């Protein structure tokens, strides 16, 4: 039977203009034991003045660990989203994110295909992604970190398209980060049928719910969204998600991806109750 741990994607404090350490502190106060930080290259102005939660990979990895230890928090995964169709950016970014994750004992780095340029056809796009993933998979194997591809773009909006990318490179270190909200919003197929098709490759889940209002406005018109509403307050059928994943014999992180602090608080309460005996209590 699948067992779940609950984490919190740091996007939850973006709208509150909180920096990384303040975001970690609040997550701990809400009752979370794990977080999924976003990382970036270079020096972002908003992050440097502590108005944004993303953490620069120019910093010492142990600085992130030091901050997390201070508040009794562990890193479950790294949000290292890199444009797989743009190797000149993706290879360096993913490589560094994997090394960062390894130093923090975080076994997952999440990414997606991002945006396809108009001048790139489908065959070219998949060759570019294959190159990016080939390079990254070698690093992932050395560091024993999973690269998890999530539904977020034009190719990953269907289970077939998502698996095609996963299978571009034959590596046990490439799997799926299933995003419950993005798969629902894409509207290309039943999201629960899609989850069933990719279930054996799911290593990590973005627990993202979609409000009725957003569903009405955007379903079928977008392939993803940055954050959702509080888990249990939207259109996602969580009992169905857990039912589909139940036969999988491994631990899986549910990383809550909402947009507000109070939504993060309500999401934790909901998921702890909904998971029942499938929840690992640390």
Q: Which two tokens stand for residue 270?
A: 């909901």
| pLDDT on residue 18 | 98
- The CATH class, in words, for 3-278 is alpha beta
What average pLDDT does the chain have?
97
Q: Which two tokens stand for residue 89?
A: 């950016």
Q: 57 near 94, Cβ under 8 Å?
A: no
pLDDT tens digits for the chain (282 residues)?
A: 999 999 999 999 999 999 999 999 999 999 999 999 999 999 999 999 999 999 999 999 999 999 999 999 999 999 999 999 999 999 999 999 999 999 999 999 999 999 999 999 999 999 999 999 999 999 999 999 999 999 999 999 999 999 999 999 999 999 999 999 999 999 999 999 999 999 999 999 999 999 999 999 999 999 999 999 999 999 999 999 999 999 999 999 999 999 999 999 999 999 999 999 999 987
Q: List the chain domain ranges.
A: 3-278
Query: DSSP letter string over 213-245?
Result: HHHHHHTTT-S--S-BB-TTSSS--HHHHHHHH
Strands 74-75 and 78-83: unpaired
Q: Whose CA is closest to 21, among 56, 44, 55, 60?
A: 55
The Cα 77–Cα 224 span in angstroms is 20
Q: 182 near 225, Cβ under 8 Å?
A: yes
| pLDDT on residue 282 | 73
The Cα 197–Cα 29 span in angstroms is 37
| pLDDT tens per residue, range 106-157 | 999 999 999 999 999 999 999 999 999 999 999 999 999 999 999 999 999 9
Q: How many CB atoms lie within 10 A of CB 1?
A: 10
Q: 36 near 62, Cβ under 8 Å?
A: no
| pLDDT on residue 112 | 95
Task: Give CA 5 to chain center in angstroms.
Answer: 14
- Phi then psi for 39, rounded to 5 degrees? -120, 155
Residue showing tokens 């591809």: 149
Type and span of the H or E element at 28: helix 20-30
| pLDDT on residue 281 | 84
Q: Whose CA is closest to 179, among 189, 191, 196?
A: 191
Q: How many residues does the chain have?
A: 282
């Amino acid at each position: 039977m699948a067992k779940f741990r609950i984490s919190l994607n740091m996007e939850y404090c973006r709208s509150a203009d909180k920096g990384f350490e303040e975001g970690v502190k609040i997550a701990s106060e809400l009752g979370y034991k794990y977080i999924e930080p976003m990382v970036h290259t270079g020096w972002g102005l908003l992050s440097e003045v502590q108005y944004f939660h993303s953490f620069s990979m120019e910093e010492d990895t142990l600085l992130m660990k030091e901050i997390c230890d201070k508040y009794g928090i562990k890193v479950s995964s790294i949000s290292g989203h890199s444009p797989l169709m743009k190797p000149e950016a993706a290879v360096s970014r993913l490589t560094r994110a994997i090394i960062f994750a390894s130093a923090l004992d975080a076994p997952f780095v999440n990414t997606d295909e991002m945006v396809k340029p108009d001048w790139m056809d489908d065959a070219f796009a998949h060759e570019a992604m294959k190159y990016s993933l080939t390079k990254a998979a070698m690093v992932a194997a050395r560091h024993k970190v999973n690269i998890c591809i999530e539904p977020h773009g034009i190719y990953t909006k269907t289970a077939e398209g998502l698996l095609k990318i996963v299978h571009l490179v034959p590596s046990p270190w490439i799997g799926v980060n299933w995003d419950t909200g993005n798969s629902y919003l894409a509207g290309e197929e039943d999201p629960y049928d899609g989850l069933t098709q990719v279930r054996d490759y799911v290593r990590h889940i973005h627990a993202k719910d979609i409000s009725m209002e957003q569903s009405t406005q955007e379903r079928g018109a977008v392939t993803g969204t940055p954050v959702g509403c509080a888990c249990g307050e939207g259109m996602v059928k969580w009992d169905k998600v857990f039912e589909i994943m139940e036969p999988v014999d491994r631990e899986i992180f549910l990383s809550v991806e909402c947009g507000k602090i109070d939504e993060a608080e309500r999401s934790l309460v909901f998921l702890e109750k909904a998971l029942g005996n499938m929840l690992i209590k640390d």
